[in-house]
Chain A
């Protein structure tokens, strides 16, 4: 009696996890760096217009 192969799990394209540019680490660094630059800028503004 032939044994039926187990049903394959349906493909889940939503689980794809590859950044379209650079790497996740670099993207995270860009976000943190942008925040740091803004904090420095705002601190400078505060000091300049006190």
Chain B
């Protein structure tokens, strides 16, 4: 890092923390701490709401998502603008008029304490998991840049965030997030410009986009109706709407942002600002990932992108194994480049239909080559020095325990028991040094519950030579979930929206049916998540509908007993709204 880099890094961190601390001067009481004295205007609210949702994760992983999967992730946000309108109409005025500090406070006055606690626990559970990942992802990069340990970096980042948020309250958070948003968006724009400038001189911007389209990266909208397809227009519009309603309407991290507005008008405008600019912002971030993909079509991509990790492995006795994998990776890329040159993947203008057919065939070649190259990356990820034994062992990541258990007859599995979790939720396996190909075979094996494996070793590979095995490995890799991207998302916080809708609009429904319905619905959603393969966005619709439907049914089926005073007393206040 140059001196300027250090100045920018620590200047930004220092300014943000200093600003947060400076804001504590104005804090006088709990209301000021939680609402910031109702002083934020719509610009601050809008940027703060966007920054709360778009953490460092967004700016780190969204381009990666586009690199792997194309632009279709943008459909995830199609329901968001509609949700912003619904929240502006239905939620914001209610929260203001009830003068609540938190969204869950209202649930206690409307229902009872246990319902408030259930919603708050769901929120805290999800927010805690999210905060851990949000700190961890940038800490990975920062630890490499600074040469610090990962744990130490996480602690430092966490401590800084806690310092200025606890000291400064919601106003400090809103103000600093506004600045963070500007910094992050500016960085993203600079990254896009740098990538475009580094593309080959004879590759125009239009041709670069066309090349991305050849590889299926410009798949922005998909109108197909398939519940198993994770990102479609319909799942984004419907599931995304319910998800955004739940997130922006019931998640305290967001509710607090717009409840700090100067007035209902400012809060509404802040939300609508988010609704207007969120989708194009995400599209642009995804497009940066597409440009990175194009960039690596003309520049050799490394086997493993984290150079410092690679350097650490080279300092261990396993450097030879990694070197062999890298050599193999380079050979595949070279062969692919040779094929691409022959096929002239970049199409010329015109000849639309005929060229499109040819491009499809060429893209097939390109995609197969890329899959084969990508098939080496999981193995490289595993060739890392273990922490405890000073890099004397290899550590296998992303290999499930079941995969090795299914291969228990093989020497590899017998030698490498399960040892610890890795962060992405997979099981990691500590392994003795083995041939990289064996690691690759173990890593690429499909999960036994999805695709039964043959009983004996030779049959696993199906015979054939080395080239055939490579192709099969590539095909299997293409079917495997991508680490960190396609892991099933935990269906938490699908109930909160239903609880709030009942609180707002079902004035006679009692607390206990709502509480029971919320618990049952969460179980239903988890069961559906475990038992089916429908896209996770649909869980939002299912969870909300299940809570509302079950609560109304239970309320109608059970005779009213002695209703809590709080439940009834909240009625007239609600009816004023």
Q: Would you call B169 an interface residue if the criterion is a C-beta within 8 Å of the partner chain's C-beta atoms? A: no
Residue of B84, B85, B218, B220 most packed against chain A (CB within 10 A): B220
- Whether B81 lies near A32 (C-beta < 8 A) is yes
- Whether B81 lies near A35 (C-beta < 8 A) is yes
Instruction: Mark B451-487 against chain A: 1 for CB-CB distance below 8 A, else 0.
Output: 0000000000000000000000000000000000000
Rounded to whole angstroms, the CA-CA distance of A32 and B82 in the bound complex is 7
Q: Could you say which residues of chain A place their CB within 8 Å of the CB of B221?
A: 39, 42-43, 46
Q: With contacts A15-B96, A34-B81 known, is A46 near B220, CB below 8 A? A: yes
- Whether B220 lies near A45 (C-beta < 8 A) is yes
Q: Could you say which residues of chain A place their CB within 8 Å of the CB of B263?
A: 13-17
CB distance from A15 to the nearest CB of B (A): 6
- Contact of B78 (CB < 8 Å), options: A14, A24, A28, A39: A39
- Contact of B265 (CB < 8 Å), options: A16, A48, A49, A50: A16
Residue of A nearest to B93 (CB): A17
- Whether B265 lies near A31 (C-beta < 8 A) is no
Rounded to whole angstroms, the CA-CA distance of A20 and B401 in the bound complex is 59
| Chain A interface main SS type | helix
Rounded to whole angstroms, the CA-CA distance of A43 and B236 in the bound complex is 14
In the complex, which residues 1-50 of chain A have their Cβ closer than 8 Å to any Cβ of chain B? 13-20, 24, 27-28, 30-32, 34-35, 38-39, 42-43, 45-46, 48-50
- Whether A31 lies near B272 (C-beta < 8 A) is yes
Q: Would you call B382 an interface residue if the criterion is a C-beta within 8 Å of the partner chain's C-beta atoms? A: no
Residue of B nearest to A34 (CB): B276
Q: Could you say which residues of chain B place their CB within 8 Å of the CB of A14?
A: 38, 96, 261-264
- Contact of A31 (CB < 8 Å), options: B81, B97, B219: B81
Please choose the segment from B6-14, B103-111, B209-217 that sits at the chain A interface, where 4 or more of its residues have CB less than 8 A away: B209-217
CB distance from A17 to the nearest CB of B (A): 4
- Whether B265 lies near A39 (C-beta < 8 A) is no
Rounded to whole angstroms, the CA-CA distance of A20 and B275 in the bound complex is 18
CB distance from B89 to the nearest CB of A (A): 8
Rounded to whole angstroms, the CA-CA distance of A25 and B210 in the bound complex is 39
Q: Could you say which residues of chain B place their CB within 8 Å of the CB of A48?
A: 213, 218
Q: Could you say which residues of chain B place their CB within 8 Å of the CB of A16?
A: 263-265
Task: Give the number of residues in B that approach A within 8 Å (Cβ atoms).
Answer: 38
Q: Could you say which residues of chain B place their CB within 8 Å of the CB of A43?
A: 220-221, 223
- Whether A35 lies near B220 (C-beta < 8 A) is no
In the complex, which residues 248-281 of chain B have their Cβ closer than 8 Å to any Cβ of chain A? 261-265, 268-269, 272, 275-276, 279-280
Residue of B nearest to A19 (CB): B265
Q: Would you call B74 an interface residue if the criterion is a C-beta within 8 Å of the partner chain's C-beta atoms? A: yes
- Contact of B82 (CB < 8 Å), options: A35, A42, A50: A35
- Whether A17 lies near B213 (C-beta < 8 A) is no
CB distance from A6 to the nearest CB of B (A): 18
Rounded to whole angstroms, the CA-CA distance of A26 and B74 in the bound complex is 25
Q: Could you say which residues of chain B place their CB within 8 Å of the CB of A42?
A: 71, 74, 220-221, 283
Rounded to whole angstroms, the CA-CA distance of A34 and B74 in the bound complex is 15
Q: With contacts A14-B261, A14-B264, A28-B85 known, is A38 near B280, CB below 8 A? A: yes
Rounded to whole angstroms, the CA-CA distance of A24 and B267 in the bound complex is 13
- Whether A38 lies near B279 (C-beta < 8 A) is yes
Q: Could you say which residues of chain A place their CB within 8 Å of the CB of B209?
A: 49
Q: Would you call B536 an interface residue if the criterion is a C-beta within 8 Å of the partner chain's C-beta atoms? A: no
Q: Would you call B233 an interface residue if the criterion is a C-beta within 8 Å of the partner chain's C-beta atoms? A: yes
Instruction: Mark B350-362 against chain A: 1 for CB-CB distance below 8 A, else 0.
Output: 0000001000000
- Contact of A18 (CB < 8 Å), options: B212, B265, B356: B265
- Contact of B218 (CB < 8 Å), options: A19, A34, A45: A45
Residues of A at under 8 Å CB distance from B? 13-20, 24, 27-28, 30-32, 34-35, 38-39, 42-43, 45-46, 48-50
CB<8 Å pairs between A and B, sample of 26: A14-B38, A14-B263, A15-B96, A15-B97, A15-B264, A16-B264, A17-B93, A17-B263, A17-B268, A19-B269, A20-B269, A24-B88, A28-B88, A31-B272, A31-B275, A32-B82, A34-B81, A35-B78, A35-B275, A35-B279, A43-B221, A45-B218, A45-B220, A49-B210, A49-B213, A50-B219
Q: Which 10 A-B pairs have the closest CB atoms?
A: A49-B213, A49-B218, A42-B220, A16-B263, A17-B264, A14-B38, A43-B221, A35-B81, A42-B221, A46-B220
Q: Give 9 new A-B contacts, CB below 8 A, not counting A14-B261, A42-B283.
A: A13-B38, A17-B264, A24-B88, A31-B81, A32-B81, A35-B81, A35-B275, A42-B220, A49-B210
